């Protein structure tokens, strides 16, 4: 595996929830902080959630209190639990190391929040 593999996106109504998952190469997962990024149409990609190798987390203000990031060290996976979703959360979501590593960008997973 040379890229991240994201899954779990979909169409959800405002106020709903989704759980995204990302499988990472072990060599990257074990030695880096990991993060979820998103890119909305016409906007730059932004980092929305970070989890350190020690489990400390941080979030961009717009998702704080609604999103939870976690990591499964046994499976080299990173998850993003997204609650109380809003239309402005609509984007393609990607995971990568923090700071990102160009060669690791995967296809992402589309999240659409709409009624």
Structure confidence by residue, pLDDT tens digits, 10-61: 999 999 999 999 999 888 888 899 999 999 999 999 999 999 988 999 999 9
The total of other beta-carbon atoms located within 10 Å of residue 72's CB is 12
Say what the pLDDT of residue 1 is: 58
Q: How far is CA 74 from the centre of its chain?
A: 18
For residue 7, the tally of other CB atoms under 10 A from its CB is 13
């Amino acid at each position: 595996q040379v890229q991240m593999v994201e899954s779990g996106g979909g169409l959800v109504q405002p106020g709903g929830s989704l759980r995204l998952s990302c499988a990472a190469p072990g060599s990257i997962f074990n030695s880096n902080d990991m993060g979820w990024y998103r890119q909305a149409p016409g906007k730059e990609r932004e980092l929305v959630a970070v989890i350190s190798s020690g489990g400390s987390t941080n979030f961009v203000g717009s998702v704080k209190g609604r999103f939870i990031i976690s990591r499964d060290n046994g499976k080299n996976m990173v998850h993003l639990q997204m609650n109380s979703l809003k239309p402005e959360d609509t984007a393609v979501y990607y995971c990568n190391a923090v700071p990102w590593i160009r060669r690791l960008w995967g296809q992402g997973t589309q999240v659409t929040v709409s009624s």
